[in-house]
Structure 1
Amino acid sequence: MELHDVWFVLIAVLWTGYFFLEGFDFGIGVLTKLLARDRAERRVLINTIGPVWDGNEVWLLSAAGATFAAFPDWYATLFSGFYLPLLLILVCLILRGVAFEYRAKRPEESWQRNWEHTIFWTSLLPAVLWGVAFGNIVHGVKIDAHKEYVGGLGDLFNPYALLGGLVTLALFTFHGTVFAALKTVGDIRVRARRLALGLGAVAAVLTLGFLVWTQLDRGDGGSLIAVIVALVALAGAIVAIAAGREGWSFALSGVTIAALVATFFLTLFPDVMPSSLNDAWSLTVTNASSTPYTLKIMTWCAGIATPVVMLYQGWTYWVFRKRIGTQHIADATH
């Protein structure tokens, strides 16, 4: 296996980590409107991810940085062609972080309500747009012989990509609902279980349609295995949450997300961005990669830094592993 193949796999792993962790982050943000009934319950939901949300975004920075360094042509075409959607995601992530930090700085209900609205919308929009972006990457976009995207903004919102956006929104919200059930106690935990059943059913229907379409469009034997794993894991997650086994359900919903990302990258390889105009103009792991020397240095750096990052992030989750409920909110008004 060549180093550019290794880095294609590593970037897939980074995106898997990001969607697994940030997925339930986005889901919790959406649940502040779907599940929480009052300010105290919204605080409970926000507090479940309070210690970890910013660490989860490290995976996005790592994935983008690795793409820039390992596959500069892929990075250039992706971020120029998808400029407006990716800019909107970036703005949402910035505002979302500000909302988490500033929401409790003042006691006025209007102040906190406005920041809560911000948390909801800046969680929902990226959850949709990431699916749209990856749907386009997998399905193929208009790339010319100079490795430049020559389509328009409207081309990115095609039926396949929009279905991908609905799939990621449904899966992330289901993932977040299971996480809420896993991390809370009392009535909110019970309602999270019930809501997860409905969301799981919606996610299952959307995911089945999207993965079948993906398999018929560009799939092979490897991607078929990933598709089957995703669907079986999602069914298992729904069964587990119905039985009150939140831990198993959360693990299986995470497997579903991982298998979805695996399906994306397995259908792509050896391309990194297929061209819908001419297969010969597609960006591949070979024609879009950096030099072997660059990839060699990156491999050494990643081999040293990655285990350290994973250890301290795992330690953070262990420290803040206990459940919380409204009884732990000392003053629901401030």
Structure 2
Amino acid sequence: MDINAYDFHLPEELIAQVPLKDRASSRLMVLNREKKNIEHQRFADITNYLQKGDCLVLNDTRVLPARLYGAKEDTGGKVEVLLLHQTAGDEWEVLVKPAKKVKQGSRIVFGDGQLVAECTEIQEHGGRKVQFSYDGIFLEVLESLGEMPLPPYIKEQISDQERYQTVYAKEEGSAAAPTAGLHFTNELLEELESKGVEIVYLTLHVGLGTFRPVSVDTVEEHEMHAEFYQLSDESANKLNEIKKNNGRIISVGTTSTRTLETIVRDHGTFKEASGWTDIFIYPPYQLQAIDGLITNFHLPKSTLIMLVSAFAGRDFILEAYQKAVDERYRFFSFGDAMFIF
């Protein structure tokens, strides 16, 4: 299929640059797939659409402060380093800017020497492998020196970096937030649990490939980036119990969806599993694992809008996106939400 089938006009001023003060006060567009109708609500109203016996699946990954600013040890030249993922021990795959300054053997110093990175390999795609040296605990050093790697379409800096974390973020390892979960507060989750909605957690560490535009002419040519996922035995058993009792599984975000679909595709059921997934979901893919999806509004021609189109139908999704533009919804990471069931 031509990639332009997933294009739409998005005025730049609708791209949310800062988060709302109250997470649950964002707008919520509700899509009923069977009736093909659209409602406009507030996110806090999600409690009216979930019922006892439903299960909400949350991605508990935590974003690393993965952007570091340092200087070359020999010349003092400024270098920006973005952590992609840990390959072994203190070795990481990273992106560096300006790349031409960092050759094999180059050493980059951060802070007052609290952290040093030595380039051990130049990779084909322009990235680097570096070996870090430091005193103490790496994550603590990173917390003190690093910055949150906000998406490229967000030009503003946020004063509270926790605002780019979900309230339930726990497992360190993401380069980006699972943004559908940013709308939840602890109070809202407690309200849902008291109503009898089951809460289940999984982990998928979001890679920077999530921001990579689709640069091919047809959907089928696009290659997805791989991301690490993990589902515990306890969570798998809960999900199977929900299905057995005809409850609905509501996935929060495309990351949770991709994890669940990967596991059901590979095992035929929910099962304790971990590994790397590069599953690419687009029409006419039939989703098997979920009955509902909470998600944000995504980029034109992105793999994410293709995933929601596979769940709800391309025409219905593009109709909803046009309504979102007309009604001045806020788009992307800090924007408004959509509930599809």
Q: Please confirm whether the aligned pair reaches a TM-score higher than 0.5, indicating the same fold.
A: no
TM class by shorter chain equals under 0.3
Report the TM-score when normalising by structure 1. 0.28
Report the TM-score when normalising by structure 2. 0.28
Larger strand percent: 2
